Amino acid sequence: MSRATTIVQIVRDAYRAEGFLPLHAPVFQGNESAYVQATIESTFVSSVGAYVDQFEAMLREITGASHVIATTNGTTALHMSLLLAGVGRDDLVITQSLSFVATANSIAHAGATPAFVDVDADSYGLSHTALKAFLESECVLTNAGCIHRATGRRVAACVPMHSFGLPARIEEIVEIATAWRISVIEDAAEALGSKIGSRHCGTFGKLGTLSFNGNKIVTTGGGGAIMTNDPELGKRAKHLTTTAKVPHRWRFEHDAIGFNFRLPNLNAALGCAQLEQLDAFIAYKRDLAQRYSEAFAKADIPFVTERPGTTSNYWLCAILLKDLAERDECLEITNEAGVMTRPIWEPLHTLPMFSSAPRGPLEVTQEIASRLINIPSGVLRQPA
């Protein structure tokens, strides 16, 4: 039996299902229809409504963040977080090349340029050792902040990502960045429910962000959120994402250039129903990951697991193949067999718009990109 055929069989056995198996699809089995219908009947379907407030309150309870501001999507959440952290035009923002393009796009939207460093081989999150090496070899700390020697640009922020819901070494990253006077903004788009110890991903840095796209563990259709424990930043985030409108019953007063980034009530209604099922979703996915781990171990195919001391939501499960040729062969055969698999994202430094961005060595990034595939990881809809 070929490795690709083995993968197909393991996935089908883990799900105990035939037919097409998607990579990750939303499941609506709770109060989604009732809450959305209630929103329609209320006529409050845009960015003001009770479900927006409820959605943010539920996220505060789940994540432990003092302030949560719901946004239109994860990209706008990250864009706004960068602005709130003081990132400006021509600044540099350190991030990882092994990430979805929205991470780097958000940096560009803020007028800055990404600077890429490598990831850890066991978490696929930004490597604190690579970060330290980049700062010591490429930057200097001055009265004006951290300056990149080759370009003279200020390094204003660092954006590590918790890839696939696997917690990165964020505590070490924050410690290093703080010493270099660099703000940390966590891209926790994929990490709702993931923790380091008892602390939720996205709550270690100055700000953190979540995504509720249709393929995430919880979806609002689109949607994102900003998290922070800083009351002033929380207040400012809500103000700027709501067109910077000064509260008044009828006047249209705006005191800054604002953004129309607030999540609509209609989407928030869907999100509230989804959050009610979050614990069950995570339990299902962690059980699925355990079945995968045991089966792939027997087949001598490395399955990607959480680091000790961390809890992953296993948003997307992943395996590592021998090399690029085997990866591409398995992608072809598994998808042809009705088991949806995908490679990891193209490393961002290889994309034309970011090809000239500053970077450190990216050996681990290149190695993972040539071998990793994601396998079906969603919650199967249960029979009625």
What was the pLDDT predicted at 382? Answer: 58
Q: What's the whole-number average pLDDT of the chain? A: 96
> Topology of 32-275 in CATH?
Aspartate Aminotransferase; domain 2 (3.40.640)
Q: In the chain, which stretches have pLDDT less than 70?
A: 1, 382-384
- Whole-number Å distance between alpha carbons of 234 and 374: 35
Joined together, the tokens standing for residue 382 give 């249960």
Which residue bears the tokens 């991030």? Answer: 95
Q: For the chain, which residues make up each domain, given as ranges?
A: 3-22+277-375, 32-275
Q: Is pTM, for the whole model, over 0.85?
A: yes
Residue 157 CA: distances (Å) to CA of 18, 82, 83: 47, 8, 10
3-22+277-375: in CATH 2.60.60.20: no
What was the pLDDT predicted at 48? Answer: 84
CB 384 within 8 A of CB 19: no
What does the pLDDT look like over 129-165, one tens digit per residue?
Answer: 999 999 999 999 999 999 999 999 999 999 999 999 9
Strand order in the sheet with 342-343: 317-320, 372-375, 342-343
Nearest to 263 by CA among 70, 86, 125, 20: 70
